[in-house]
Structure 1
Amino acid sequence: MPSASPPTAVFAMDPVHLPLLFPPPLLARLRRAADVDPALVVRDFTDRTDPGVTRALSRAEVLITGWGCPHLDEDVLGAAPALRAVLHAAGSVRALVGEALWRRGVAVSSAVTGNAVPVAEYTLAMILLAGKDVFAHRERFRATHARPDAARTAATGNLGRRVGVVGASRVGRRLLELLRPHDFEILLHDPYVDAAGAAALGARAVTLEALLAGSDVVTLHAPDLPGTHHMLNRERLALIRDGGVLVNTARGALVDHAALTDELVAGRLSAILDVTEPEPLPADSPLYTLPNVFLTPHVAGALGNELERLGRLVVEELERLASGRPLAHQVRHGDLTRLA
């Protein structure tokens, strides 16, 4: 049943993100759905020196969180006894929500679906550019100022190229949608997706080893879990065909970076890396200067005006909560065994 009055909400994040997540029209919509003070943004739940923060948390039914929000644990439950929902205006909640909140049954929602959109767009763009060998052409053009001859372009192009997608995560699924209009053959590896499920997504289900050996481009969209740590180790990287391209917009820990560096220094593979291990890489890493590596500083996810998409998802969730409807993007404790 809807509440008799709007729920009381409190922002908890780095305040620098607030104006981009909730620009004025969206903030006005949020304030119609909840009793919230946009001038109050909590950064430390244990700080009892500000009576305004203490009072707001004591009444808070909803926390609207984002990047920079501290870990939500028993201290939060103590400060916010009325808390019934956490609406996260960012991606993963794994490091955000403590066991105490799960035990008490606080509902948790994430805007990870909104963040998946720009990551998938970035990945599609990089796959298309890699198929045209754009990065190598750029390097040669810088050096020679000459157009490539037919011999250099004979092996390039995106017609019929085989793309291997590792992980039918939200990003992976969005990418599969974006790949559909293009003339690619799509392979998919995900232990939770069978052949029929993969076919429905426009892909063919294969083992990880078959995907690596059979793809021109391998793109990673799996979560960072104990079971996926260094899933692309030295042996599996060696399965990728000569001249293959690895795209990683997921997490650096999915790849053994020492082994990958060896492959890239040797020139056998190319890589497009928005995430690395560690992040950032040491200043002396050869990946900064190798011509077969395109390295970006974790920018595939929501940036700039794309943050409004995340804020909009949170406002929609808040409106559902206020009207007694179920959350559309709820994360449950059991999901964390297979989601980021």
Structure 2
Amino acid sequence: MLARASRFVGGADTQERTVRVAMIGYGAIGFEHGTAIDAVPGLEYALVCDRNEERLALAQQSFPSIATCTDMDEVARDDSIDLVIVSTPPNTHASISMQMLQAGKHVVSEKPFCLTTAEADTMIQLAEEQQRALTVYQCRRWDPDYLAIQQIMQRGTIGPIFHMETFIGGYAHPCNYWHSHEPISGGVFYDWGSHYLDWMLQLIPDPVESVRGIEHKRVWHDITNADQASVYLRFAGGQEASFIHSDIAAALKPKWYILGEQGAIVGEWRHETVKTRRWSGDLIEERLAPAESLPELYVFTYDADGAIQRQLLTLPPAPSYAFQRNLANHLHFGEPLAVPPGQSRRNIAVMEAAKHSAEQGGETIVLKC
């Protein structure tokens, strides 16, 4: 708003040209992206590119005004396209992003940013040379439980964090799509780890000094991803943090277990059931996966007598289309990116080191990032 006001006072034209957006790869998240773009002033959902004609038909059904194509070279050559969302499998993120940057487009990459630190460095350098925006769709930075934890930390309620554990999983066969095929997905570390490690690195901003990764392959032998992966981090300030993603966990750990110098935060998974009825009137009960519900978040603090007090937090509402609003404001008014590429590079450096460590039997990898 301040940027808009200053431009008006300065006599600048406040009717900026709409940023025309193309998406390469209309997968499961395509509708989410399109809906957000349509809802945010300054952005226009203009083009969807996918090799699958059925997906293109679904895209046009949901967004009738878009154009479609099957060749991403057409996207690169289209001078009317300002920004490209790369929503293809992770092993293609770097090459497609670089092709679009070289064509003069701003780029939003789906998570993970890429698969190697070398790819991240090349992408960031190219974006700087081309003077184009480059960012990653870390949409879960606006999840209500993470926002609540940020608020607690900003208030100093539990003091500085020195220990953090995070977890996601259960006991179930992973999906049979590319997400579970390591040469395409990058492996388990790059799946939910893209979100959890991003959270952890934001909550503990000190440089990471060492990384250790452990993988187990014990049950699901028809897929190439590990059945369970663990990452252990140590930071320059002595803090430690860990993340576990497991598809063979019969008992769940808390989503969040955070210790601060004056208190703690624990996020317990909720076990929710959706109830509907068949046409006959019979009750249908469907139990949701833990990740499909927000956790119950508790903060533990000491009172004046030294007794520990536990409080259930009310989670804040998730802001609508926060990533896309920031993106539009960045492109039109120079607002800093909510997810600058350097932060995403840090995520990749940690995941790549964890993968290398796991391949070496859990060897500790010294890292400075």
TM-score, structure 2 as length reference: 0.32
Q: Which has the higher helix share?
A: 1
User: Quick one: higher RCO (CA 8 Å, sep 6+), 1 or 2?
Assistant: 1
TM-score, structure 1 as length reference: 0.35
Q: Which has the higher strand share?
A: 2
